[in-house]
Amino acid sequence: MSAPGSAWPGVLLRGSATVSSYSDQLDDQVAQAPVSETGPQSLLDRTLDGIAHLCIIVAGVLMVFLIITFGWLVFGRYVLNDTPTWVEQSSLVIVVYITCLGAAAGVRNNSHLSIDFIREGMPRLPRTVMRHLSDLFVACFGVFMAWQGGYLVMENLNRPIPMIGFSESWRAALLVICGVLMVLFSCVNIVQRLLKTREV
Mean pLDDT by 10 residues, the chain (200 residues): 46 41 46 44 86 95 94 89 86 93 92 81 86 92 95 92 87 94 94 65
The pLDDT score that the predictor gives to residue 61 is 96
Domain containing 75: what range?
Answer: 42-199
Cα–Cα distances in angstroms (integers) from residue 10 to residues 7, 20, 128, in the given order = 5, 17, 19
Asked if the structure places residue 10 within a domain, the reply is no
Asked if the structure places residue 26 within a domain, the reply is no
Asked if the structure places residue 159 within a domain, the reply is yes
Asked if the structure places residue 28 within a domain, the reply is no
Domain total for the chain?
1
SS3 83: coil
Q: Tell me if 186 sits within 8 A of 107, measured CB to CB.
A: yes
Q: Tell me if 108 sits within 8 A of 185, measured CB to CB.
A: yes
Which pTM was predicted?
Answer: 0.72
Asked if the structure places residue 194 within a domain, the reply is yes
SS3 153: helix
Q: Which residues pair with 167 in a beta bridge?
A: 160
